[in-house]
């Protein structure tokens, strides 16, 4: 039986190079098509590094991962380093970096990551006490396929995904922002790839910024920092996503995300700090 190669796995393929002084080196490629106006999406870059962290530690799930974005990232050859910090029974902590190769044989650091990884499937469990339920999100079939929309003209990443947006939240594209800094929809892959914890890192940044629904300039919203907590491994099927921004202040904003699987289980939370769009 041949293993099916999904597009996201190809785009995050890693070649382990060597381990020098405990630091794991991987060769990789920042693939074209996962970008907004030529610069790789922040969630895609986090997934690429998160996958390297999992390979280096042998632990599949980034339970909490933070990336600081240092420079825009066009497609190209890259190197990822993963440096162990501490390895315990339940969790291991690492730092990691992605370096993009330049035309002169040099390289530039694109993101710096701090991650604590584990294996959610073998977690010891413990108390649960959910204080909120899943936010109201329109059913999958009532949401609009983002790849069918004009967003692809600049947000090329939508062409790689089968992500759907709730109509009122993506009406900003036709000049009708909802006035509410909320972005709801469903994350999925067009080739049916299962959504594992690495794909949740991508999902956390795969929708248009919630602030596009406010009366702010529709310009780039560069991420300064993104943290994702993976809370559970998703059940099969698309993942319901809810993003909102509460505070745009002095040119900075946060965007909070919740991701829920088909069984109504919270699978991830995210928060990013970003620069507010400027005209």
Does 275 bind its own copies (CB under 8 A)? Our answer is yes
Report in angstroms how near the CB of residue 55 gets to its own copies at its nearest. Answer: 20
Does 63 bind its own copies (CB under 8 A)? Our answer is yes
- What's the CA gap between 51 and 34, in Å, rounded? 16
Query: Can you give the length of the chain in residues?
Result: 279
Report in angstroms how near the CB of residue 237 gets to its own copies at its nearest. Answer: 19
> Which of these ranges, 10-18, 156-164, 201-209, 268-276, lies near its own copies under the rule CB under 8 A?
268-276
- Per-residue x/- mask for its own copies, residues 71 to 100, rule CB under 8 A? x-------------xx----x-x-x-----
Figure out which of the listed residues 142, 246, 263, 264 binds its own copies, where binding follows CB under 8 A. 246
Figure out which of the listed residues 12, 28, 116, 197 binds its own copies, where binding follows CB under 8 A. 116
How many Cβ atoms from other residues are within 10 Å of residue 23's Cβ?
A: 16
Does 134 bind its own copies (CB under 8 A)? Our answer is no
The DSSP code sequence of 34-97 is: SEETTEE-HHHHHHHHHHHHHHHHT--EEEEEEEEE-S---SEEEEEEEEEEEE-SS-EEEEEE
Report in angstroms how near the CB of residue 5 gets to its own copies at its nearest. Answer: 32
Enumerate residues 6+ apart whose C-beta is below 8 A from 180. 213
Enumerate residues 6+ apart whose C-beta is below 8 A from 59. 91, 92, 117, 118, 119
Structure tokens at 252: 């900075």
Q: Tell me which residues touch its own copies (CB under 8 A).
A: 63-64, 66, 68, 70-71, 85-86, 91, 93, 95, 109, 112-114, 116, 120, 123-132, 180-181, 211, 214-217, 224-225, 227, 229, 231-232, 244-252, 254, 265-266, 269, 271, 273, 275-278
């Amino acid at each position: 039986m041949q293993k099916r190669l999904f597009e996201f796995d190809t785009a995050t393929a890693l070649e382990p190079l060597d381990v020098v002084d405990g630091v794991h080196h991987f060769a990789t490629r920042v693939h074209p098509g996962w970008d907004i106006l030529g610069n790789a999406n922040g969630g895609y870059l986090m997934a690429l590094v998160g996958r390297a962290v999992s390979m280096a530690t042998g632990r599949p799930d980034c339970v909490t991962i933070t990336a600081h974005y240092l420079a825009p990232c066009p497609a190209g050859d890259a190197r990822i380093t993963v440096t162990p910090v501490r390895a315990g029974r339940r969790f291991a902590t690492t730092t990691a970096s992605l370096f993009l190769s330049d035309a002169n044989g040099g390289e530039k650091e694109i993101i710096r990551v701090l991650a604590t990884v584990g294996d959610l499937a073998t977690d010891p469990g413990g108390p649960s006490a959910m204080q909120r339920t899943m936010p109201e999100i329109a059913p999958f079939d009532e949401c609009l396929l983002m790849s069918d929309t004009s967003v692809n003209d600049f947000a090329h990443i939508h062409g790689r995904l089968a992500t759907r947006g709730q109509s009122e939240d993506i009406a900003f594209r036709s000049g009708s922002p909802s006035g509410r800094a909320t972005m709801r929809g469903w994350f999925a892959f067009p080739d049916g790839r299962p959504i594992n914890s690495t794909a949740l890192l991508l999902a956390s940044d795969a929708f248009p910024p919630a602030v596009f629904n406010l009366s702010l300039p529709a310009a780039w919203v560069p991420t300064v920092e993104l943290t994702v907590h993976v809370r559970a491994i998703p059940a099969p099927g698309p993942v319901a996503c809810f993003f909102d921004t509460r505070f745009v202040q002095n040119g900075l904003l946060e965007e909070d995300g919740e991701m829920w699987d088909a069984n109504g289980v919270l699978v991830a939370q995210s928060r990013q700090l970003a620069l507010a769009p400027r005209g």
